[in-house]
Amino acid sequence: MLSLKDKVTGLMVFFLITASQVGVGVLGFQSIINKYAGNDAWLSVIVAGLMVNVLIWVMYRMLKNDETGDIISIHNVTYGNWLGAFFTILFVLYLVLLAIVVLQTYAEIIQVWMFPHLNIWAFLLLLLPLIYYTISDQFRIVVGVCFLGVVYPASLIFTMIFPLQYADMNHIMPVMDHTLIEIVQSSKLAIFSFMGFSTLLVYYPFIREADKSQKYAHYGNFYTTILYVLLCVVTFLYYNQSELTDVIWPTLGLWKIIELPFMERFEYFGIATLFFSTLPNVVLYLWAATRVVHRTFGFAHKRIALILLGIVFIVSFFIEGREEINFLNDTAAQIGFVFLFIYIPLLFVLNYIKRKVQKK
């Protein structure tokens, strides 16, 4: 049973949702989502944000109706203990995969832009002790990391002013030049940048008066959506569509043009600052995975954290090069889309039916 000191206020849900959605993806999502909708892809981001808001509502409906208020309990009520445990373990694997994707992508950016001879395993060897310290103790430490991960990098928003001096309105005109189907197809690609909010299914019991915190979850998602739309529009004003297809990390290209008297390579500062956005992603995924295993099987929390970090470290030896990281990102995006837009609505319906039957 969780005590009051283990819980955080509902306002912190804003930072938890935002921190889970904003990360290393801000560097390159623009060149991915324009695949179908082209210069109208910024509309796809709005559609993706609206769809995520619906899913947040669905999750809160399930969590409010559950006695314990987490995905483990929902699975057990819906499927029974054994089958519920099976689906819960699949959820753990999904969370660990997302953590690996974020770490590998950020490590690759550091390797390409800053330290070409950096070994990713060596980078992880330095980073994993910090992650272990964060996820092995109280949830409040995780929340503190997420709070800093939203507040500190927020200053980078002002860097979007610099590329506007080279903006060309013809790059995004005419508006609504693509079909609704193409915009929805691009929104499917944009969803990958929002996926972290699924950790709500785990930390919900750690929120005081959790049923009243839903509005902060929607506010957090709204903030993320506005941030992505702003970044997307500025990128499309700076690059034309033919240029954007050849650029892997458009945001770094925007930062390269920034000239300051005291800083020659601003993109280095940007990459370093984004560490404070990347760390909350990884911490939330791995803390949630650790918590789920602990709740399901009763193993010691710290021991599970060590095992999961060991898995993340070992996997890093088998992932090399841009193609493998791209494959990892694409796989995680497809699994995440199925989990969020097929499995979660299906679980909501099954759970609702099961509870109605039990009441009768």
Residue 161: DSSP 8-state: G
pLDDT confidence of residue 219: 96
For residues 139 and 287, give the distance between their C-alpha atoms in angstroms, rounded to a whole number. Answer: 8
CB atoms within 10 A of CB 333: 18
Residue 26 sits in a domain whose CATH number is: 1.20.1740.10
Closest by CA to 309, choosing from 131, 79, 107, is: 131
Task: Note whether residue 359 is domain-resident.
Answer: no
pLDDT confidence of residue 248: 84
Task: Note whether residue 44 is domain-resident.
Answer: yes
Task: Note whether residue 223 is domain-resident.
Answer: yes
Are residues 244 and 38 in contact, defined by beta-carbon separation less than 8 angstroms? no
Task: Note whether residue 54 is domain-resident.
Answer: yes
Task: Note whether residue 264 is domain-resident.
Answer: yes
The single residue listed with the structure tokens 């928003």 is: 157
Are residues 194 and 52 in contact, defined by beta-carbon separation less than 8 angstroms? yes
pLDDT of the chain, 360 residues: tens digit per residue: 676 677 899 999 999 999 999 988 888 888 888 888 888 889 999 999 999 999 999 999 999 887 778 899 999 989 988 999 999 999 999 999 999 999 999 998 998 888 888 888 888 888 999 999 999 878 999 999 999 999 998 888 888 888 888 888 888 888 888 888 988 888 888 888 888 899 999 999 999 988 899 999 999 999 999 999 999 999 999 988 888 888 888 998 888 888 877 777 888 888 999 999 999 999 999 999 999 999 998 899 899 999 999 999 998 888 877 788 888 888 998 999 999 999 999 999 998 888 887 776
Task: Note whether residue 360 is domain-resident.
Answer: no
Domain that holds residue 257: 4-353
- Count of the separate structural domains present in the chain: 1
Task: Note whether residue 358 is domain-resident.
Answer: no
pLDDT confidence of residue 225: 94
